[in-house]
Chain A
Amino acid sequence: MQLNLNADDALLEALSAKADGAAEVLVERYGGRIYGMALRMMGNPADAQEVAKEALLTIYNKAGGFERRSAFSSWIYRVTANAALMRLRKRKGQQDELSLETLQEPLGESSRILEDWRRIPSNETLNRELGKVIQNAVRVLPDEYRVVLVMKDMEGQSLEEIASALELTLAAAKTRLHRARMVVRKAVTDYLREGRRTTT
């Protein structure tokens, strides 16, 4: 049976009633986004598949109780983020806060960093390599930081939505995002400097 579920409201109704075709529409419309977000948070396809499965099951079974105080898509991000965090906690246990000391830079350093960044040639190979450097920096971030960075800078969620999804204060979400960005910035700078040293 072909369901006409163009709007999220109709999809929610269909999911609540466990109507024929509702699972297909849910996976078709949101499966890719859920899986993509899970992959960026978990860093490997096997864990991402488990997170996607967990998140979709929660959405499928709890759609009837969704109170519509936020957009359906925000709820989906929230459920996915929580499924990823649960799995990450099981995987590694709680991690420490990022040390601020490693993120502070001496006066004059920003100008030197900018000089390095300005030397980045617009060449496909280097950009691909830089992409890998960034992916790796994101992968090794403490979980609580990576989730915020992925949701904001990769998935485009608002800071308010992220804070609400992760049950953080807005200030805490901002602090984590800022520190995570600083780690990525440092990784790119280190890579550029290292590359220059090995080519000179």
Chain B
Amino acid sequence: MKMNKFMLKMMLKMILHPTAYTCRDTRKLMLDYVEGTLEPEKRRKLDAHLADCPECQAFLATYRDTIRRTRGALPPESEMPEELRTRLVRFLKSSSD
């Protein structure tokens, strides 16, 4: 496998700081990081990794954008039709226990 500059840098980091997070750790913890539910020590380590890793920065940016875009992608017909509202009230009244 061809070793690029980025991979060499990450390998060197792992040797010098064996407890530092890898890209794999970062991906595993990304959900908690984004949700703000990561423990402070893990968050600090993940921030340290992100500061040095453009790949994980890119992952984080697109992961966050995915959430934002999903939230904005509600189906247009999500309003409840008025006729359905009336029908549901009638249905509830006629079928109560």
Contact = CB atoms under 8 A, between A and B. Distances in A.
A166 interface: no
A153 B75 contact: no
B80 A35 contact: yes
Nearest to A62: B97
A32 B70 CA distance: 20
Given A153-B67, A185-B66, A111 B95 contact: no
B55 interface: yes
For this complex, into which size category does the number of interface residues on chain A fall?
35 or more
Contacts of B89: 23-24, 27
A111 B92 contact: no
Secondary structure at the B interface, as helix, strand, loop or mixed, is helix
A52 B84 CA distance: 10
Interface residues of B, number: 41
Interface stretch (B13-21, B40-48, B57-65): B57-65
A22 to B, nearest CB: 9
B30 A159 contact: no
A140 interface: no
B23 A107 contact: yes
Contact of B93 (A23, A31, A131): A23
B35 A185 contact: no
B59 A32 contact: no
Interface string A31-53: 11001100110000100010011
24 contacts: A31-B80, A36-B74, A36-B78, A39-B75, A45-B77, A53-B88, A53-B91, A57-B95, A108-B6, A117-B61, A131-B69, A131-B72, A135-B73, A149-B70, A153-B71, A159-B37, A174-B31, A178-B31, A181-B31, A181-B63, A181-B66, A184-B69, A185-B62, A185-B66
7 nearest A-B pairs in the assembled complex, by CB-CB distance: A114-B58, A134-B73, A110-B59, A110-B58, A35-B80, A23-B92, A36-B78
Interface of A: 18, 23-24, 26-28, 31-32, 35-36, 39-40, 45, 49, 52-53, 56-57, 60-61, 107-108, 110-111, 113-114, 117, 130-132, 134-135, 138, 149, 153-154, 159, 174, 177-178, 181, 184-185, 188-189
Interface of B: 4, 6-7, 23, 30-32, 35, 37, 54-56, 58-59, 61-63, 65-67, 69-75, 77-80, 84-85, 88-89, 91-93, 95-97
Given A184-B66, A188-B69, 15 more contacts: A26-B92, A27-B92, A31-B85, A40-B78, A52-B88, A53-B91, A107-B23, A108-B6, A111-B55, A113-B59, A114-B58, A117-B61, A134-B69, A153-B71, A185-B62
